[in-house]
Amino acid sequence: YIHVDMDMFFAAVEVLIDPSIKDAPFAVGGMSMISTANYVARKYGVRSAMPGFIGKHLCLHPAPGSTLPAAELRFVGHGFDKYTMVSRQCKELFKAFDPHIQAAGIDEAYLDITDYMVQHTLTA
């Protein structure tokens, strides 16, 4: 079995739509709550389920001794229709490895790749 957990899924979809944001710290959500943050923002300590105002502070005031420059945390609003569409596309790709995938959320799935590995003469 394989457990697929697509890290920073919402943020990754936003980068697909607007590649210009990939190198800047950004979070999906707002000042009250962050759903996810890209890897650039995570370097500053920004995390999922963190209030956005704390994430903004972390980016504007990097930890003492950090080599990170002060930066403005950008917020991107939720686009659940987009996330659902990309999630369906990913799950269709997973079906090439396991036609009976078990979805565990918009960004997670379990795949039994035993048959795929046998058919393709692969070993673990």
Q: Among 14, 72, 92, 108, which one carries the catalytic annotation?
A: 108
**Does residue 108 have an active-site annotation?**
yes
> Among candidates 59, 56, 67, which has minimal Cα distance to 40?
59
Q: Where are the beta strands (DSSP E) in the chain?
A: 2-5, 26-29, 34-37, 74-76, 102-105, 108-111
Q: How many helices (H) and strands (E) does the chain have?
A: 5, 6
How many CB atoms sit inside 10 A of residue 95's CB?
A: 12
Token pair in block for residue 81: 């229709």
Looking at residue 89, its amino acid is: Q
Instruction: Report the catalytic residues.
Output: 108
